[in-house]
């Protein structure tokens, strides 16, 4: 309970302060407010927690934010079918499983491979970031089936990125089945939104070190 109270207070303070900030300044504020603690308390390693938890803050966080603004722009241009959002000092990319996969399948649709290959190209050109790949489903079907499907889909995306030039050491893969919906599973439209693969793109240790030393360009 004390963690929850602390988290609510920290997020409230951060949100109030961010109201008049640009994205780079928000990244700085997130780290300065104790992003690692907030991230760890929020969701046990889910996308939001990882991105906020990876924040450095201060001047270094501002420099990282500038790099992430550039990479987010490149990703939006490369994969117009995905939702690309800047979060803290990182990037959240959401792919609709309905577009990426056939029903109840972990085989990436041929029509989506060009978009995913374009994303891999952006990652290859920005080697100082790591990528977390997460698989999610809706609540249709059993827990076991959904967990297995989310695992296979996350692993399929990770393998595809590797085969298109993204170094395996930069990739981490997790899956959650139906346990982390973005929307209430109360209709087909929301269920479709919950069937997704998400990426968290965040600074690796090399980028953080350069930013702290003022050498990140």
Question: What pLDDT digit, counting tens, does each position of 142-170 carry?
Answer: 999 999 999 999 999 999 999 999 999 99
Q: How many whole angstroms separate alpha carbon 91 and alpha carbon 71? A: 8
Q: What is the number of domains present in the chain?
A: 1
Look at the block and give the residue holding tokens 């990652």: 123
Specify the CATH number for the domain of residue 126.
Answer: 3.30.1330.60
Q: Where are the beta strands (DSSP E) in the chain?
A: 83-87, 90-96, 129-136, 171-175, 196-203
From 174, 161, 172, 179, select the one nearest 204 (Cα to Cα).
172
24 or 191, higher pLDDT: 191
pLDDT digits (tens, 9 = 90+) for 45-103: 478 788 888 888 999 999 999 999 999 999 999 999 999 999 999 999 999 988 899 88
Residue 9 placed within a domain: no
The residue range of the domain holding 80 is 66-212
In a domain, residue 10? The reply is: no
pLDDT tens, position by position, 46-60: 787 888 888 889 999
In a domain, 40, yes or no: no
User: Looking at the domain assignment, is residue 50 inside a domain?
Assistant: no
101 close to 115: Cβ distance less than 8 angstroms: no
Phi (first) and psi of residue 101, to 5 degrees: -125, 155
Is the residue at 192 inside a domain? yes
Task: Provide, rounded to the nearest whole percent, the portion of the chain with pLDDT above 90.
Answer: 69
Residue 138 lies in a domain: yes
Tokens of 77: 């241009």
Q: Flag whether pLDDT at 9 surpasses 60.
A: no
Quick check: is 27 in a domain?
no
* Average confidence score pLDDT of the chain: 83
């Amino acid at each position: 309970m004390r963690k929850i109270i602390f988290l609510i207070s920290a997020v409230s303070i951060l949100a109030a302060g961010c109201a008049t900030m640009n994205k780079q300044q928000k990244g700085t504020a997130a780290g300065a407010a104790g992003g690692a603690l907030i991230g760890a308390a929020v969701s046990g390693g889910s996308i939001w927690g990882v991105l906020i938890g990876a924040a450095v803050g201060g001047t270094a966080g501002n420099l990282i934010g500038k790099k992430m603004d550039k990479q987010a722009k490149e990703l939006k241009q490369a994969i117009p079918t995905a939702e690309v959002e800047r979060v803290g000092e990182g990037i959240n990319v959401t792919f609709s499983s309905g577009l990426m996969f056939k029903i109840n399948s972990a085989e990436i649709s041929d029509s989506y491979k060009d978009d995913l290959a374009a994303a891999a190209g952006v990652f290859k050109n920005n080697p100082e970031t790591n990528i977390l790949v997460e698989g999610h489903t809706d609540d249709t079907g059993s827990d076991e089936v959904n967990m297995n499907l989310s695992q296979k889909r996350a692993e399929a995306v990770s393998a595809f990125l590797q085969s298109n030039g993204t170094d395996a050491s930069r990739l981490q893969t997790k899956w959650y089945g139906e346990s982390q919906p973005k929307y209430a599973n109360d209709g087909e439209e929301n269920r479709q939104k919950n069937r997704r693969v998400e990426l968290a793109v965040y600074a690796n240790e090399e980028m953080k070190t350069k930013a702290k030393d003022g050498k990140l360009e």
